[in-house]
């Protein structure tokens, strides 16, 4: 068994991969689902179910609309400000690392953009607070789980403005009040399928520009009105997302994964606090349950530990180039047994190297 800790694209349950293979090869009326018109009833049913299940798992209210788009996460960096910037308002960003920071840069193309808070000064080890709720906000942008630095918002920020969130790396992995958000999105390659699509949920109250004033492909209303079928969608990615969402529901929904993910995270962070050779990167109260970032106290041993881990079929734990060290991503499909194997290797490594 391979223990897949990759940050993204990331682990998908083996049973689902088999199911996907069967579905792709299975030729209803002699054709595969990915070689027929996206306007066919057969594909339309897949998209309907995908939307329906998304709403159900997230417990969305009637104000919130769902669409699946292309362009991955980064398209949202510009699509959000292009839809929602306003002349006499400001786009506010909470800078919690590369992802939020990259989004803030793109927003400057479309309107007045300011940093509301940042944790840059301590290397993004925590989720920053901010004092006043700005009155002139077009929206306040956050990234709920910072995949690179391993920090996570556990509380929904309180604001009277529209709250926007990049949930690419924790959607479907942790419980939240999703209706509190004006817009949130997740590229599908972490907990929601494979690469190629991006789920966007928008509160209708966000829209303030006349239709036709934003390019058709960029206007979220185009995709909402056409139920994610305005143009040819990434059909395979949609099929995968539906499989993954059905599996999430079968297991017990987000509540189930919230508990399972916290258990995996506490097993690993517990060891990181105990083990003499390693230390967790982020401040305790903001440590991500999805991506645990850690370093070796002595950098010299990092290469040895990677080699040792590789011998146990642990893959994907090399840290992001910004921080070095290690990152163990523990998405929904990663079993706790894999985390236990990692912990065992750390303990053995401490005995032999220490
Ligand atoms: C993975 C990830 C993305 C994905 O962006 P792509 O453009 O699809 O590569 C965006 N935001 C966060 C926080 C992520 O972890």
Q: What sign has the CA pseudo-torsion 325, 74, 198, 194?
A: negative
In angstroms, the Cα distances linking 105 to 101, 208, 309, 322 are 6, 23, 38, 18
Fold of 14-251: 3.40.640
The number of the ligand 1 atom at minimal distance from the alpha carbon of 169 is 15
Residue 72 Cβ contacting ligand 1 at under 6 Å: yes
Active site residues: 99, 166, 190
Reported confidence tier of residue 26, pLDDT bands at 50, 70, 90 = confident
Task: Find the 199 Cα to ligand 1 centroid distance in Å.
Answer: 12
Smallest Cα–Cα separation from 145: which of 89, 98, 214?
A: 98
Smallest Cα–Cα separation from 103: which of 158, 135, 133, 144?
A: 144
Q: Residues 271-326: pLDDT tens digits?
A: 999 999 999 999 999 999 999 999 999 999 999 999 999 999 999 999 999 899 99
The number of the ligand 1 atom at minimal distance from the alpha carbon of 8 is 1
Domains of the chain, residue spans: 3-11+253-353, 14-251
Tokens 């000064």, residue located:
121
Fold of 3-11+253-353: 3.90.1150
Q: Residues 149-172: pLDDT tens digits?
A: 999 999 999 999 999 999 999 999
Distance CA 130, CA 116 (A): 7
Give the gyration radius of the chain's Cα atoms. Answer: 21
Q: Residues 236-263: pLDDT tens digits?
A: 999 999 999 999 999 999 999 999 999 9
Task: Find the 328 Cα to ligand 1 centroid distance in Å.
Answer: 16
Task: Find the 352 Cα to ligand 1 centroid distance in Å.
Answer: 38
């Amino acid at each position: 068994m391979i223990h897949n800790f990759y940050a993204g694209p990331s682990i998908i349950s083996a049973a689902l991969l088999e199911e996907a293979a069967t579905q792709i090869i299975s030729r209803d009326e002699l054709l595969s689902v990915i070689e027929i018109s996206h306007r066919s009833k057969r594909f339309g049913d897949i998209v309907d179910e995908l939307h329906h299940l998304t709403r159900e798992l997230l417990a969305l209210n009637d104000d919130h609309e769902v669409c699946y788009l292309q362009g991955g996460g980064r398209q949202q960096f510009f699509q959000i400000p292009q839809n929602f910037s306003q002349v006499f308002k400001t786009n506010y960003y909470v800078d919690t690392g590369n992802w939020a920071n990259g989004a803030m840069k793109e927003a400057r193309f479309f309107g007045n953009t300011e940093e509301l808070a940042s944790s840059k000064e301590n290397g993004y080890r925590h989720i920053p607070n901010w004092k006043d709720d700005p009155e002139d906000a077009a929206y306040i942008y956050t990234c709920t789980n910072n995949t690179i630095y391993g920090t996570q918002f556990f509380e929904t920020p309180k604001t009277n403005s529209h709250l926007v969130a990049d949930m690419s790396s924790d959607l479907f992995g942790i419980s939240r009040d999703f209706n509190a958000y004006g817009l949130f999105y997740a590229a599908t390659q972490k907990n929601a399928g494979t690469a190629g699509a991006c789920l966007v949920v928008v509160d209708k109250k966000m829209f303030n520009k006349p239709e036709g004033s934003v390019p058709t492909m960029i206007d979220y209303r185009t995709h909402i009105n056409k139920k994610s079928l305005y143009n040819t969608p990434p059909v395979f990615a949609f099929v995968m997302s539906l499989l993954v969402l059905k599996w999430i529901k079968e297991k017990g929904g987000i509540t189930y994964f919230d508990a399972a993910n916290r258990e995996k995270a506490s097993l690993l962070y517990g060891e990181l606090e105990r083990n003499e050779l390693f230390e967790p990167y982020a401040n305790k109260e903001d440590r991500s349950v999805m991506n645990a970032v850690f370093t070796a106290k002595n950098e010299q041993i990092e290469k040895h530990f990677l080699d040792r881990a590789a011998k146990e079929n642990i893959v994907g734990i090399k840290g992001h180039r910004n921080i070095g060290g290690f990152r163990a991503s523990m998405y929904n499909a990663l079993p706790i047994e894999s985390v236990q194997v990692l912990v065992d290797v750390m303990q053995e490594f401490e005995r032999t190297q220490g």
